[in-house]
Amino acid sequence: MEVGFYHLTRTRLDQALPQLLEKAVERGLNAVLVARDADELRRLDDLLWTYRPDSFLAHGTAATGFAERQPIFLAGAVENPNNAAVLVLVDGLMPPPDVPFARIVDLFDGADEAAVAAARERWRQWRERGSATLVYWQQRAEGGWTKAREEQPATT
């Protein structure tokens, strides 16, 4: 499993999130997007329909049904009803050790010192688990991402 920490420094979540989800869908990967706050989940639901005037990201929630058919499923807790390979976390959640995903995307706000400190703590917790490759991504000034650090799981 790979856990990617995406340090938002140039754009806001509302700009970066749709781009990352588009890449997953373009690669044929289903995703689960988790936000524990119900208001934030509704806001992200709206965002994925309206983030660009000429496009949207097809997705669903428990309320819309047909979870197994959704390329992107929005949830209030870690679950995998659409057989997703990618788990996207936007509010500092540390998932349980046995999550059934090949890749986890952890987005955090670089302008929020508490969010940065919490991301460092999650990195430490993942390192202690020893079950994932950890990758730290920084935003480039011109857009896109640069891999700034990678740690492989410890071997025993």
Q: Delimit the domains of the chain by residue range.
A: 2-151
Question: What SS3 state is found at 34?
Answer: strand
* pLDDT tens over the chain, length 156 residues: 999 999 999 889 999 999 999 999 999 999 999 999 999 999 999 999 999 889 899 999 999 989 999 999 999 999 999 999 999 999 999 999 889 999 999 999 999 999 999 999 999 999 999 989 999 999 988 878 999 999 999 765
Position 133: which residue type?
T
Question: Domain 2-151, CATH 3.40.50.10110 — does that match?
Answer: yes
Helices (H), the chain: 13-26, 38-50, 113-129
